[in-house]
């Protein structure tokens, strides 16, 4: 399928760039690009969300997690607004530096990374790396000598819609060992990092890891080591179905815990939001390709799905708010599904969605709060369905 897929990739709207996706240029031989799906991205709205998060967390530096949405126009606008960045790969380093960010404003937050990738980041001026093991601490000391490291500790992930596995983060005891080892290896044991899980509904989720971080900082201080930074991670919610407390509640809860556990010895704090900045700046625009009734169930098929941007609907974890061109009349339950032939390409079935009974083929369905973790999660073209293009509004 290379010829057709290559054409998809060369189609300007399929590369995450700004041209309108309905520009009509042919895909491959003579497969015309459909007018939907695409992601409408409002860069100004993302900058507003960035500023609101900063205002809710005075004194805390905001590092946008590039993985949420690496659109270059978004990165440029965030740089201009004073944002810093959380990156996890050489390509992300290059993307934010090209957008104008200073390398000193980056935290390389991938705790287990290819050695050459660490060296690449260090050569580009990145000075702050996250680790969560003795092995990776030694690797950073080798590939990026004399830089600073944060040790990531594990959290429960409770209260989060897209909970963390045990993939990253060590215990507090291990963190103490790791920061000591970092110092012995000539690194700066800068402090502690954690993540409470994406789309975290409970502002109190930061309490336990802040308390643990304070214990770690206190223990290494007895060794004469000065930990000066605390990375409070992401998890700040977007406006999805079911709602979430306002950002100010998160700021107040975090401020309280920082005072309680660190007192006058408060470290510099940073956060690494992705979804909270980008999600509400994006609307995924799709079209109903069919409505079918089988066995008493109404199935609504969209022209977008799990493999073209909606991977976070797996297990129905992230529930987008829906608006349709048929809104206004009576509604009823339906299963919402994508259009590839993969049986996993079902968006919401266990908890069906309420959609207008009049909804029909050709109606437009908008998924709100879809600016994060969508376009960059698209497959290269599974089943012949193109990646989700972005349109700047």
- Rounded Cα–Cα distance for residues 316 and 287 (Å): 20
CB of 262 to a copy of itself, least distance (A): 25
Closer to a copy of itself by Cβ: residue 167 or 222:
167
User: Residues with Cβ < 8 Å from 382, sequence gap 6 or more?
Assistant: 307, 308, 340, 342
CB of 266 to a copy of itself, least distance (A): 27
CB of 298 to a copy of itself, least distance (A): 10
State whether residue 139 is helix, strand or coil. helix
Closer to a copy of itself by Cβ: residue 258 or 372:
372
User: Residues with Cβ < 8 Å from 30, sequence gap 6 or more?
Assistant: none
Q: Which of 191, 194, 228 is nearest to 209 (CA)?
A: 194
Asked, as a colleague might, if the bond just before 37 is cis with ω within 30 of 0, I would say yes
List 38's β-bridge partners, or say none: 285
Closer to a copy of itself by Cβ: residue 15 or 211:
15
CB of 73 to a copy of itself, least distance (A): 9
391 neighbors 18 (Cβ within 8 angstroms): yes
CB of 32 to a copy of itself, least distance (A): 8
- Cα 200–Cα 202–Cα 208 angle in degrees, nearest 5: 100
Q: Which of 374, 293, 321 is nearest to 37 (CA)?
A: 374
CB of 95 to a copy of itself, least distance (A): 4
CB of 231 to a copy of itself, least distance (A): 13
- Rounded Cα–Cα distance for residues 277 and 152 (Å): 22
Q: In angstroms, what CA-CA distances link 322 with 86, 281, 344?
A: 30, 15, 21
- Rounded Cα–Cα distance for residues 49 and 54 (Å): 9
Distance of alpha carbon 353 from the chain centroid: 24
Closer to a copy of itself by Cβ: residue 56 or 160:
160
The residues annotated as belonging to the active site are 341
Cβ atoms < 10 Å from Cβ of 215: 15
Q: In angstroms, what CA-CA distances link 12 with 38, 67, 282, 385?
A: 12, 21, 19, 16
Closer to a copy of itself by Cβ: residue 141 or 258:
141
């Amino acid at each position: 399928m290379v010829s057709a897929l290559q054409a998809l990739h060369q189609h300007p709207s399929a590369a995450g760039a700004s041209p309108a996706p309905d520009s009509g240029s042919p895909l491959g031989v003579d497969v015309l690009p459909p007018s939907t799906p695409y992601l409408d991205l409002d860069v100004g709205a993302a900058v507003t969300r960035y500023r609101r998060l900063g205002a809710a967390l005075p004194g805390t530096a905001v590092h946008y997690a590039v993985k949420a949405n690496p659109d270059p126009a978004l990165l440029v606008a965030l740089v201009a607004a004073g944002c810093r960045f959380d990156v996890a790969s050489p390509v992300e380093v290059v993307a934010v530096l090209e957008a104008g960010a200073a390398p000193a404003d980056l935290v390389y937050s991938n705790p287990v990374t290819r050695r050459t990738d660490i060296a690449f980041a260090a050569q580009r001026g990145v000075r702050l790396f996250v680790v969560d093991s003795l092995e990776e601490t030694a690797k950073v000391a080798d590939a990026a000598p004399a830089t600073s490291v944060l040790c990531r500790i594990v959290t429960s992930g409770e209260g989060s819609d897209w909970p963390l596995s045990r993939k990253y983060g060590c215990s507090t005891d291990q963190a103490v060992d790791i920061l000591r080892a970092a110092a012995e290896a000539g690194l700066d044991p800068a402090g502690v990092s954690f993540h409470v899980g994406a789309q975290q509904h409970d502002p109190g989720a930061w309490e336990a890891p802040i308390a643990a971080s304070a214990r770690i900082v206190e223990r290494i201080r007895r060794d004469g080591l000065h930990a000066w930074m605390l990375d409070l991670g992401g998890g700040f919610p977007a406006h999805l179905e079911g709602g979430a407390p306002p950002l100010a509640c998160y700021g107040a809860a975090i401020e309280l815990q920082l005072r309680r556990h660190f007192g006058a010895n408060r470290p510099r704090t940073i956060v690494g939001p992705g979804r909270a900045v980008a999600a509400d700046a994006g609307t995924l625009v799709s079209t109903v390709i069919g409505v079918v009734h089988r066995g008493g169930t109404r199935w609504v098929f969209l022209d977008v799905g799990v493999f073209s941007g909606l991977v976070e609907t797996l297990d129905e974890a992230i529930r987008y708010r829906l608006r349709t061109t048929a809104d206004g009349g009576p509604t009823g339950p339906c299963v919402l599904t994508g259009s590839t032939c993969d049986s996993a390409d079902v968006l919401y079935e266990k908890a069906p969605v309420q959609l207008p009974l009049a909804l029909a083929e050709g109606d437009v369905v908008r998924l709100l709060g879809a600016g994060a973790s969508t376009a960059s999660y698209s497959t290269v073209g599974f089943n012949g369905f193109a990646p989700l293009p972005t349109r700047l509004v």
